[in-house]
Amino acid sequence: MDNNKLIAMLIFIVPTVVQLIIVNYKVTDIEATELLYNSELYALLEDESTKLWHLSPLTLFSMFDEEQKTGKITFPEEA
């Protein structure tokens, strides 16, 4: 996948993950966006070779939540 297609995928995925962070962490949209963008998960999501972009927003949120709580990220079987 070229970089333009990856960016297009992220445009659809990121807002949903941010919304899940807002609801579950009870933070503002700006805080949620900063939390996601500063996470290791987001760095991995931007790396096309990880193929994380094909996971559902809910799965990505679960990975984000795990990272926030434990400092680790567990990749699901389908990743």
Express each pLDDT in 46-56 by its tens digit.
998 998 989 99
Cβ neighbours, 10 Å, residue 32: 21
Length of the chain: 79
Mean pLDDT of 50-75: 96
pLDDT tens profile 20-62: 999 999 999 999 999 999 999 999 999 989 989 899 999 999 9
Give this prediction's pTM.
Answer: 0.89
pLDDT (0 to 100) of residue 1: 62
Distance CA 20, CA 48 (A): 23
